[in-house]
Amino acid sequence: MQTITILGSTGSIGKNTIKVIEAHSDKFKAVALVAKSNTELLAKQAIALNAEFAVVSDKSLYNELKTKLSGSGVRVEAGDDAVIEAAKMQSDVVMSAIVGSSGLAPTMAALQRGSRVALANKECLVCAGNIMTDAAKKHGATIIPVDSEHSAIFQVFDFKNPENVEKIILTASGGPFRNMGIEQMRHATPAQAVAHPNWSMGAKISVDSATMMNKGLEVIEAFHLFPVAHSQIEVVVHPESVVHSLVEYIDGSVLAQLGTPDMCTPIALALAWPGRLALSHTKLNLAQIGQLTFKPVSKDRFPAVDLCYAALAKGGNIPAALSTANEVAVSAFLSGKIGFLDIVCVVEKTIAQIGHYEMTSIDNVIETIQDAKKIAADIILNSAS
């Protein structure tokens, strides 16, 4: 029986993690659950899983959660310190699925106690890649990627002989606008941007897929997860989302991981590694699919990818500023304050304005995040005036 802490239990990844746990209740037990504000679902999850600890990060919702879990035996806390406490609780696996920069501190806390961290939070490695990976090495923690693309690479990468790797190839669905012209994209609505053709995801990551910022962020993640240079990471558009990513070796061999677009697969792998779990979802039928297609990224329509490569090359606090500005810009787009094409413009202007420096601690990261939030918000405000 393995014990699991879920940071972000009410989000898309959290709900799928619980689905996997419930399908294998003889193998896993959730000990702590953390959510941002959805106390209704958090309480139901805690009761269903017989969790020991439930935390809502919004401190004002403590009494609400306490009332919902009254008489259940589940301990209740609220606030950022309680989220850290949950991450520090003894468990075999921590699912890090809190969206955005809020996931940084609890994920670091889990790494510092030597846990296996199933990492679904992009911002951890984008904003603090070297800091996070150094902490994992120092404390004997293991990072297992949950993003489908990085999970795919993880499964076919020869870690014992990395010198034999020519390059890694991240596949991108291309999102809902992969065949849309720039003028159409200029007038795209939030409803259109979140309507992903292949994956069921939250609003923020769906918009990131529409701009292809998510793929650029995944390039930065991949650099920190795998021993390769920037130049050894390639992105191709693969509309079917069947080949989740590939590794090309120096002899010309290319190894790929394939599967249906279902996040339960990489989640199950992260929970069971180095083993595997039987899952009941629809299995891949290549004959039914018929064909797989690949094409290059349109740099004119999706400049976010090159912007992320440039941020990675510059290093220091720039990737953190980029990621933060993107969060602010996506939020502004979803609330109707800016247009779709303005998202990348806000990000580019933010990283051009912020000072460049090296980072050695989470405090440095938090400082960059605060600065980038202010700069991005000012850019959005000025563009509206």
Residue 42 lies in a domain: yes
pLDDT at 22 > cutoff 70: yes
Between CA 365 and CA 312 the distance in angstroms is 15
**Is the same domain home to 131 and 153?**
no
**Is the same domain home to 154 and 168?**
yes
Phi-psi region of 212 (alpha: psi -120 to 50; beta: other; left: phi over 0): left
**Is the same domain home to 139 and 152?**
no
Residue 266 lies in a domain: no
At residue 385 the predicted structure's pLDDT band, cuts being 50, 70 and 90, is low
**Is the same domain home to 193 and 323?**
no
**Is the same domain home to 19 and 118?**
yes
Residue 275 lies in a domain: no
- H/E run at residue 286: helix 286-289
Is the entire prediction scored with pTM above 0.85?
A: yes
pLDDT confidence of residue 123: 86
**Is the same domain home to 26 and 41?**
yes
With beta carbons less than 8 A apart as the criterion, state whether 367 and 373 touch.
no
pLDDT confidence of residue 380: 96
**Is the same domain home to 78 and 201?**
no
pLDDT at 6 > cutoff 70: yes
**CATH code for position 18:** 3.40.50.720
Tell me, rounded to whole angstroms, the distance of Cα 304 from its chain centroid: 17
pLDDT confidence of residue 202: 72
pLDDT digits (tens, 9 = 90+) for 67-118: 999 999 999 999 999 999 999 999 999 999 998 788 999 999 999 999 999 9
Q: Give the mean pLDDT of 305-328.
A: 96
pLDDT digits (tens, 9 = 90+) for 134-162: 999 999 999 999 999 999 999 999 999 99
Question: Which of 98, 117, 145 lies at the terminal end of a domain, its last residue?
Answer: 145
Summary mean pLDDT of the chain? 94
At residue 335 the predicted structure's pLDDT band, cuts being 50, 70 and 90, is very high
CA distances from 231 to 28, 244, 310 (A): 40, 20, 11
Instruction: Give percent above pLDDT 90 in the chain.
Output: 88
**CATH code for position 363:** 1.10.1740.10
Look at the chain and report how many structural domains it folds into: 3
At residue 203 the predicted structure's pLDDT band, cuts being 50, 70 and 90, is confident
pLDDT: which is higher, 201 or 154: 154
Residue 45 lies in a domain: yes
Q: Domain of 129?
A: 2-145
pLDDT digits (tens, 9 = 90+) for 338-350: 999 999 999 999 9
**Is the same domain home to 125 and 185?**
no
**In the numeric block, which tokens belong to residue 330?**
């996506």
pLDDT at 384 > cutoff 80: no
Angle 312-179-183 from CA coordinates, rounded to 5°: 85
**Is the same domain home to 183 and 241?**
yes
pLDDT confidence of residue 200: 62
Residue 272 lies in a domain: no
Residue 106 lies in a domain: yes
Residue 269 lies in a domain: no
Strand ranges in the chain using DSSP code E only, listed in sequence order: 2-7, 28-35, 53-56, 75-78, 93-96, 116-119, 142-145, 165-172, 233-237, 243-249, 254-258
**Is the same domain home to 236 and 342?**
no
Question: Which of 145, 165, 198 lies at the terminal end of a domain, its last residue?
Answer: 145
**Is the same domain home to 184 and 138?**
no
At residue 199 the predicted structure's pLDDT band, cuts being 50, 70 and 90, is low
Question: Which of 145, 170, 205 lies at the terminal end of a domain, its last residue?
Answer: 145
Residue 66 lies in a domain: yes
DSSP notation for 47-84: HHHT-SEEEESSGGGHHHHHHHTTTS--EEEESHHHHH
